[in-house]
Structure 1
């Protein structure tokens, strides 16, 4: 029951109406017997600074941040974690005792969790489709796995070049490839992991038009390759449905959502004991027709 002692945590974005975060976080908070409630809080970019100030003033215990504010909110933080500073993107806010917010990014941790032990990926090859905001967290995660190559695929050379300049590191091989380049077939043929960060396939059930890069290209994919789609509606996406049919290991974006949320809750609650299974079950139940 909500009462005078109930604390607030929540999600800032626009839109946030269909977010699964309140469902899974409130299930976790109930299991933890913590008198907090997690709310989805729609917020326009023009009012973001005022909303952040007001939420801190009323004692909000923490916030998640989603589209379109992940980059904008970074400039409004009192300070940033090294990872958030490198990515230029924040998805988790922690209130500072002396005022303002500490900005962090748990998307990388959330992305990596379903992949398992990092040692398993050393010396292997990854392909990332897309170079938007989500791709930054994906590439940063992949750069920690000691891969042999990371190939970024996109439609425009200028976009790819700009992404590589911001994300390249001396010890993590990152290269680009246009989706029209014949070299892409070779990259796919040698890939151990492919990650789709684009919206292609979201809420689309027409398999022919909803598979990233087109269905024909994926016939070159080795059978041991893992397909990882950041989309989780529908479940499975047409691309992952195709991958299942060919015997590939397939991961969708729901587990990333759950794991990044659990990481945020650990930071807000100062507790390592977060009921991840409860969060996962609540999110899965909410997605069922």
Structure 2
């Protein structure tokens, strides 16, 4: 019988996951279909019960359900539980088990540039859900230091205190981060600042950025934000949000099928959708 995979969200019509993942399902000759379901927050529990009843093989979870879904699952991976959010669910012999591939997806995307974080000082900009997934996952890898800057320093401090993994971290105001930007090897922008249509906005001033730093932005519309353009002009290596999106999808696919897919194929597919 044909397997069913899905993504749940509200809204969901903009999602690029169905085209990307249906393509690799076909490429690996897996008899399955990946379908987007628009599920309103008040219908989430009913939707999960229904998907479990029909024997769905696995699904992704996106905004606004990543945290709300936790009580409706049979089990949650330790990292996902500590993050407090799930983006991937696996049907394990009738039990729905939740995982979070966002942080590992981001880090996998950095592999062409970084093989170890033990000698790297990292700055995370933002203290929301994406920052939490990236910070917790990266803290587990024990970088030399991993600091957080945010408009609300208190939120940055709370995020550091909530992390279950020991790390050398400081919470900084945006002005403090800007003044000490030359200290960081990796700068990760995790907010929606600079996303279409407000493409001229940047989260912090990059005047003191070190040439040769790696600067990442999880935004991928536009493909090069104002923030990344300014970083590139300062001599930094830059990376947009396409890599994180592709790799978190690839890791979900691997959990469902046991196959780590062709990420080059997935990336090209996403870029075609964005260019269209």
What TM-score bracket applies, with the shorter chain setting the length? over 0.9
Q: How many residues align?
A: 275
Q: Secondary structure at 1:72's aligned position in 2?
A: coil
Is 1:212 aligned to 2:200, yes or no? no
Is 1:276 aligned to 2:263, yes or no? yes
Q: CA deviation at 1:184?
A: 2.0
Partners of 2:141 and 2:3 in 1: how far apart? 38
- Structure 1 segments, 4+ long, off by >4 Å, are none
For the 8 Å contact 2:188–2:215, the answer to whether it is kept is: yes
TM-score (norm 2): 0.94
Q: Secondary structure at 2:162's aligned position in 1?
A: helix
For the 8 Å contact 1:224–1:249, the answer to whether it is kept is: yes
How do 1:205-244 residues align onto structure 2 when only pairs under 5 Å count?
206-207=199-200, 210-213=201-204, 217-244=205-232
Name stretches of at least 5 consecutive residues in structure 1 with no aligned partner: none
Partners of 1:187 and 1:66 in 2: how far apart? 34
Partners of 2:80 and 2:180 in 1: how far apart? 30
Partners of 1:229 and 1:141 in 2: how far apart? 17
Partners of 1:196 and 1:168 in 2: how far apart? 22
- Aligned twin of 2:85: 89
Q: Per-residue displacement from partner, 1:76-108 (whole Å, max 9, x unpaired)?
A: 1111111111111111011132x4410111112
Match of 2:233 among 223, 230, 245: 245
Q: Per-residue displacement from partner, 1:233-263 (whole Å, max 9, x unpaired)?
A: 0111111122222221111111111111111
RMSD of Structure 2 on Structure 1 (CA): 1.7
Q: CA deviation at 1:168?
A: 5.6
For the 8 Å contact 1:185–1:220, the answer to whether it is kept is: yes
- Aligned twin of 1:40: 36
Name stretches of at least 5 consecutive residues in structure 2 with no aligned partner: none
For the 8 Å contact 1:29–1:37, the answer to whether it is kept is: yes
For the 8 Å contact 1:205–1:238, the answer to whether it is kept is: no
Q: 1:238 to 1:118 in 2, by over 3 A?
A: closer
Q: CA deviation at 1:206?
A: 4.7
Partners of 1:243 and 1:225 in 2: how far apart? 9
Match of 1:263 among 248, 251, 257: 251
- Aligned twin of 1:177: 172
Is 1:26 aligned to 2:13, yes or no? no
How do 1:106-185 residues align onto structure 2 when only pairs under 5 Å count?
106-116=101-111, 119-167=115-163, 169-170=165-166, 172-180=167-175, 183-185=176-178
Flag the structure with more relative contact order, 1 or 2, with Cα contacts below 8 A and sequence separation at least 6.
1
